Amino acid sequence: MSFLVEHSNTPINHSFNISGSKSESNRLLILKYIFKNIDIENISNSDDTKVLEQYLKNDSPLIDVHHAGTAMRFLTAYLSTKKNNSFKITGSDRMQNRPIEVLVTALNELGADITYLNNSGFPPLNINGKKLDGGEIFLSSELSSQYITALMLIAPSLKHGLTINLKGPITSKPYIEMTSVILNRIGVKCEFFENKISIKSTHLIKNSIQKVESDWSSLSYFYSIVALSEGSELSIGSYSLNSIQGDKKLVEIYKKLGVETTFKNDVVFIKNNIKPESTQSLELNLSDTPDIAQTIAVTCFGLGLPCDLYGLHTLKIKETDRLKALKIELTKLGAVVKITKDSFHLNKSSEMKSHVSIETYNDHRMAMSFAPLAVCKPIIINNPGVVTKSFPDFWNHLKAMNFLVSKK
């Protein structure tokens, strides 16, 4: 199935709420099932979070996370500590080609019993749960912050806690900082300084209710819509000026693209009332915030602006090779794009082709990052249901903003 997405390109003025952050929700779910006395409010309604919660609830020995990479990594660590229980964990074809060796090696060094069922370094896995003592490990921090977070989340349950020494440049550092903040917030002592993380063994914490802030990466698509739609203004809840989500960088990035942001009473107001700061190439290092790279690239194309985006080495191991996918689909629309193994380069554009079919490659962010271009020209999004991975309400929100979304 495909959606034809169109808009009259009149100013949009709309208010709504977005579900809780997937990243915060997934961390809190693991901690809830370790400590048993955490309640979560405004939990994400994403497929990823539902899959994670499903398998945390039922202790099934056979686990299929489908496309949910976070669930694969977090469950691998969590299940390795479930003494006297055995599990087999697998996922989609793409998941079986996404590396997990860094995490598995670290867990096995801590005493876990995890083996590969097919190809070494990749799911599916066999996990024999054991009581792990913890201690000190050294871990590469260049590939994925989720390996580090998975270890941080189980650290309080380990007999001696855990010290993680990070080797190399730290990718997606704000996500590691988020994990540290959440651990300290619930009562687990966690210190993160330079390249060292220290987490104390903790058996008891106070009862708490943890409210999840809405998801900033989901908000990115609406920043794109406002940037592309002159005179538009959206008010969206619930967001904090002091957010712990790294994707809050959207505020300063989209200011350069003509979007003004203000906060009031946990509502963010985004408005198109300033001209882009420059017609020169937008140059950004997105190693801390790779999830918003596609949205920024597509926004720049829609505005006719060149951009040079760096720090994108993790995009190759996501739901698809996002750099390659971006180049293919933007080129269809008339863009001139160059990519390297870790960067994206877009030339200034003067025209966008109409009614182009965009492949989504089973990648939720491909669908949602391209949809805002309907403000400029009608666009066709193939396999639009893929958005449920992180943002099931996405298409309903577009319809409420007078986008015409019809099946093809």
Which pLDDT value is given to residue 129? 97
Rounded to two decimals, the pTM is 0.93
Q: E strand or H helix at 245, and its extent?
A: none
- d(CA 52, CA 157) in angstroms, rounded, equals 19
Predicted confidence band of residue 278 (pLDDT cuts 50, 70, 90): low
Q: How far is CA 282 from the centre of its chain?
A: 22
Q: What are the angstrom distances between the C-alpha of 407 and each of 81, 85, 319, 395?
A: 46, 46, 24, 12
DSSP character at residue 387: G
Is the peptide bond prior to 124 cis by the omega test (within 30 degrees of 0)? yes
306-324 pLDDT tens trace: 999 999 999 988 888 999 9
Greater confidence (318 vs 371) lies with: 371
Which pLDDT value is given to residue 72? 97
Q: Spot the catalytic one: 215, 291, 308, 393.
A: 291
Which pLDDT value is given to residue 59? 81
Q: What are the angstrom distances between the C-alpha of 326 and each of 27, 226, 232, 270?
A: 29, 21, 26, 26
| Domains of the chain, each with CATH number or no CATH | 2-20+215-407 (3.65.10.10), 22-211 (3.65.10.10)
Phi and psi at residue 391, to the nearest 5°: -150, 75
- d(CA 373, CA 324) in angstroms, rounded, equals 19
As a whole number, mean pLDDT of residues 325-352 equals 96
247 neighbors 221 (Cβ within 8 angstroms): no
Which pLDDT value is given to residue 277? 67
Which pLDDT value is given to residue 279? 72
Candidates 235, 261, 257; CA nearest to 248 is 261
170-198 pLDDT tens trace: 989 999 999 999 999 999 999 999 999 99
212-227 pLDDT tens trace: 999 999 999 999 999 9
121-137 pLDDT tens trace: 999 999 999 999 999 99
Is the peptide bond prior to 92 cis by the omega test (within 30 degrees of 0)? no
Q: Is 224 helix (H, G, I), strand (E, B) or coil?
A: helix
Candidates 88, 140, 86, 79; CA nearest to 118 is 88
Helix-helix angle 101-109:69-79, to 10 degrees: 10
Q: Is 308 a catalytic residue?
A: no
Q: Which tokens belong to 190?
A: 């966690």
